[in-house]
Chain A
Amino acid sequence: MSAHLFFLLVALLFSIGLVGVISRRNLFVVYMSVELMLSAITLLFATLSQTLNSANASVMSLLTIAIIAAEAALFLAMIIHLYRINRTLDSEQCTSLKQEAL
């Protein structure tokens, strides 16, 4: 199978994730979109590993999968914590890092 299709799939997945991050307000959905983008990149690595015949990219993709797993735990914990504080999962409401007017 041509590598081009995989690249196309990567681009598609990444774009869906990107649109999700930007357009959705629910933090869970945002999280899932982020994961989607990460997965897209992992797929990219895997594809490149095949096309370039190099083990480096494979190692990289495996590493990314491990990090995604660890990150998922952290992310979910943080979302729950945020929900306890704000009683909402709307990202528009979480603006405590905003620059106050000078």
Chain B
Amino acid sequence: MLSIIVILPFISALFLGILYLSNPTKKRYKLYTLIGSGVPTVIAFISFGLFFKLFNGAPSLHEDLFNWIAIGDFEIPVAFTLDRLSSIMLVFISGIGALIHIYATGYMRDEEGYGKFFSYFNFFMGAMFLLILANNPIMMFIGWELVGLASYLLIGFYHQDHDNITAANKAFILNRVGDFGFIMGIALLFISLEGTAFTFDAIALNIHNIDLQTLTWIGILLFIGAMGKSAQIPLYVWLPDAMAGPTPVSALIHAATMVTAGVYMVARYSFLYVEIPQVGLFIAYIGAFSALFAAIIATYQSDIKKILAYSTMSQLGYMFIAVGLGAYSSGVFHVFTHAFFKALLFMGAGAVIIALHHEQNIFKMGGLKKQLPLVYVTMFVATLAISGIAPFAGFFSKDAILASAFASEHYLIWGIGSFTAFLTAFYMFRLLFTVFIAPASSENKLHSLPKSMTWPLVVLAIGSATAGFLGRNEAYGGENWMGHFLALPDMVIHLSHKSEYLLGGLNMLLGLSGMFLAYKMFAIKSEAPQERHFFNRLVINKFYVDTLYTRIFVQPLLLLSHLIANVIDPKLFDGIITTLSQGYLLVGRQFSRLQSGKVRLYAIQILVGISLMSYYMLFKLGVLG
């Protein structure tokens, strides 16, 4: 069953791809739709079935397909494992994935490359399943790279525009920077454990054989991979640009699934990270600063998708706070709830964008509450959820993270997290109010929305409202089912119910005040941010990080390349060689003077030559003596 889940999307991607390439201009709407969205739906049902097996207490499922490679101790099987962690990931990825595929049949309906889109989209699903179901680091890495490729292809889907391709390149190359660390981590891990099997289970058993210093390096290197994939400081700059892709892509890949792979990876390696809490702390700080940084930028953005992109980065920061501090199941829980409301937000945004004929600036929208009531209601639910208002999903997961930050006594992280929670509520409601409540800046005739684009919103809204109950703490009347089910090596939290209520209340208060502030500022009258003073300008220009990176990395690299092309190669290396050949000619020219044509000179040369030879033979070799 597991191999079917992984392989089926690849096969359908291949089939769709061949079909599309055989005749790119032909419309085969029904066929493409049937295969493109049918396969993920089927897989979603299979995944639910498997999940409920595990839910009812079945042990992990293993499936061994064939040996991928076997060289010495480097034996890597193509094998899949469905344990509790991956089953949670599988169930929400396949479920939300199927919904977004259905949504995309509406969103992409009029696009020329409809077949190509679904080929890429299914390819992504396959790669993502490979990533989460892999039972060894190498297979996981392959999935990890392939989701990156799918992301590249889909960001650059509208390839006529150079900006989109630049964004796609940026995404892929920055991801590769992360992978540079990731692959080093894997190689180091393998070398340190050479001789034992290289699956997650085996690594977990043998992890104690590695000395602490190496383990620290491995932990950091692996996390560099996560930084790239999950858009954390300093490798985050690709994520906002990645919004160049079609909106379903942003919803599925750059919000709900692929970008959370980093968190999943850290949770997957939790057996490693519990050994090195200092690296964990580093991860938590990176997460906290990313969360805050992204939230600050989001408050000044005016592109609807970019706001959501920064909010994704910010929420990913929360997840890294959790997994960094050792609250792995809280992190995964937030991944789970976040997938619902963030996918919903993106899909709602997509619906708005389609309705307004591809307008993305929120300050050119407004008053859509009446025209798009369903979108409004569902997005309201999602906004409540992301802002951490009880009892919506985000409240429970975010609260769990902040509580563990508080309990672990890293108050700085906790403080940043709480402040970011306030900012989150502020910028999310800013978006919501500006788009739906504030008076419209211009009258628009709306594009109608197909059914396939609206009812997935409803499903996700229900999910966003209720998903949080799966992980309620004892304090809120639940039994933290999620934590018990995942059974990850979490740190133990000692908080009284009273302080938990206090923390939860504080979160609610921060969320509500953010909402209130946003209402005050944007519901009645909204206007785009102006570059008025220094801080303002800094934030609107995203702290000039892009410019900085261009200056520090891109330009020197180009300069070096030009230097090699114009100086080192022709002057130094080729210079040496041409000098040699020129010198050879020069010497030849000098010697040619001896050939003067004068017989007497030749005779002298002969005389000198014979004399020297005779001298050598007589006195050095001693021929006669």
Contacts and interface: CB of A to CB of B under 8 A. Distances in A.
Interface residues of B, number: 14
Contact of B598 (A18, A23, A92): A92
A95 B599 CA distance: 8
B595 A98 contact: yes
Interface string A56-99: 00000000000000000000000000000000000110111111
A99 B592 CA distance: 6
Contacts of B599: 30, 91, 94
A25 B601 CA distance: 11
A22 interface: yes
Contacts, number: 40
Contacts of B595: 97-99
Contacts of A25: 600
Size category of the A interface is 10 to 19
Given A22-B603, A22-B604, A91 B598 contact: yes
A95 B596 contact: yes
Contact of B597 (A18, A23, A94): A94
Contacts of B532: none
Contact of B588 (A92, A95, A102): A102
A25 B599 CA distance: 9
Interface string A26-70: 000010000000000000000000000000000000000000000
A21 interface: yes
Contacts of B589: 101-102
A70 B554 CA distance: 84
B604 to A, nearest CB: 6
Contacts of A95: 596-598
A21 B598 CA distance: 12
Q: Report whether over half of chain B's contact residues are helix, strand or loop; otherwise say mixed.
A: helix
A100 to B, nearest CB: 9
A22 B607 contact: yes
Given A102-B588, A102-B589, A102-B592, A97 B597 contact: yes
B624 to A, nearest CB: 13
Nearest to A91: B599
A96 B603 contact: no
A4 B385 CA distance: 124
Contacts of B588: 102
Interface in B562-606: 585, 588-589, 592-593, 595-600, 603-604
Most buried by A among B585, B592, B593, B597: B597
A84 B40 CA distance: 104
Given A18-B607, A102-B588, A91 B600 contact: yes
Given A92-B600, A95-B596, 11 more contacts: A18-B603, A22-B600, A22-B604, A94-B597, A95-B598, A98-B595, A98-B598, A99-B592, A99-B596, A101-B589, A101-B592
25 contacts: A21-B600, A21-B603, A22-B600, A22-B603, A22-B604, A30-B600, A91-B598, A91-B599, A92-B598, A92-B600, A94-B597, A94-B599, A95-B596, A96-B597, A97-B595, A98-B595, A98-B596, A98-B597, A99-B593, A99-B595, A99-B597, A101-B589, A101-B592, A102-B588, A102-B592
Interface of B: 585, 588-589, 592-593, 595-600, 603-604, 607
- Closest 8 A/B residue pairs (Cβ): A98-B597, A95-B597, A99-B595, A99-B592, A21-B603, A91-B599, A97-B597, A22-B603
